[in-house]
Amino acid sequence: MDANEVIVSIQDVSKAFGKQEVLNNISLNVYKGEIFGLLGPSGAGKTTLVKMLTGFDLPNRGENYLFQEKMPSLKLIEKIGYMAQSDALYGELTAKENLEFFGALFGLNGKALQSRIGKVMDVVELSDHLNKTVHHYSGGMKRRLSLAIALLHEPALLILDEPTVGIDPVLRKSIWNAFYNLNEKGTSIIVTTHVMGEAEKCHRLAMLRDGRLIAVGTPEQLKAETSSSSIEEAFLAYGGAKA
């Protein structure tokens, strides 16, 4: 982990939809080479925060910087691999056709595209199902194909919104192994989750509750500070202190 290089900087960001405040004055840095977890119950504002980082939405107050440049910017979009909560695949097409389509949008073509398709399908262990229609994929396979598409253009930063929701423990482990592999090769990862156990797999964590940042640190730090034995207890301790 390179503590010097900040790749994501969220500065005093607030967001409200109408009168409902979703994010309240969030400030956060993510460093290069980290697996950074955004932990919080549903409705805490995780997805809203992620959508601002990917340029879908703008904050009402504050600023977001990616790679030292202000979001939103079309140029930055190319550096991000984004996987949303929904699988977002074309069911009528084969896995290969899906990959080819999204690859072409990122300017990949010819041999480079085919070789990237081979690589990402290896990462998610779907190489044997390349020519299958997505319609015939199981839920877990769709999730993994969705991840493969996000990896296609070799993004320096991966933003994953609840990547393992509704996935069985075996598959969850294999997806996390894929994250570690990518991370070793230098990809920074931001992952949102509401599963406390999963949060422990991240290098650093931010805890969100009701749109407020309640704690940031490594899982060990967070547990030690609250003298808890689990992330869940730590979350309760931080949440309780604020309440």
Does 69 bind another protein (CB under 8 A)? Our answer is no
Does 130 bind another protein (CB under 8 A)? Our answer is no
Name the residue nearer to another protein (CB basis): 13 or 213. 13
Name the residue nearer to another protein (CB basis): 97 or 154. 97
Does 88 bind another protein (CB under 8 A)? Our answer is yes
Name the residue nearer to another protein (CB basis): 89 or 117. 89
Query: What is the 3-state secondary structure of the chain?
Result: CEEEEEEEEEEEEEEEECCEEEEEEEEEEEEECCEEEEECCCCCCHHHHHHHHCCCCCCCEEEEEECCEECCCHHHHCCEEEECCCCCCCCCCEHHHHHHHHHHHCCCCHHHHHHHHHHHHHHCCCHHHCCCEHHHCCHHHHHHHHHHHHHCCCCCEEEEECCCCCCCHHHHHHHHHHHHHHHHCCCEEEEEECCHHHHCCCCEEEEEECCEEEEEECHHHHHHHCCCCCHHHHHHHHHHHHC
Q: Which of 13, 35, 66, 89 binds another protein (CB under 8 A)?
A: 89
Subset of residues 200 to 229 that bind another protein, contact rule: CB under 8 A:
none
Q: Which of 2, 5, 69, 92 binds another protein (CB under 8 A)?
A: 92
CB 109 within 8 A of CB 101: no
Does 31 bind another protein (CB under 8 A)? Our answer is no
Does 165 bind another protein (CB under 8 A)? Our answer is no
Q: Which of 63, 97, 210, 233 binds another protein (CB under 8 A)?
A: 97
Shortest spacing between CB 51 and another protein, in angstroms: 9
Shortest spacing between CB 84 and another protein, in angstroms: 5
Binding footprint of another protein on the chain (CB under 8 A): 54-58, 72-74, 77-78, 80, 82, 84-93, 97, 100-102, 104-107, 133, 149
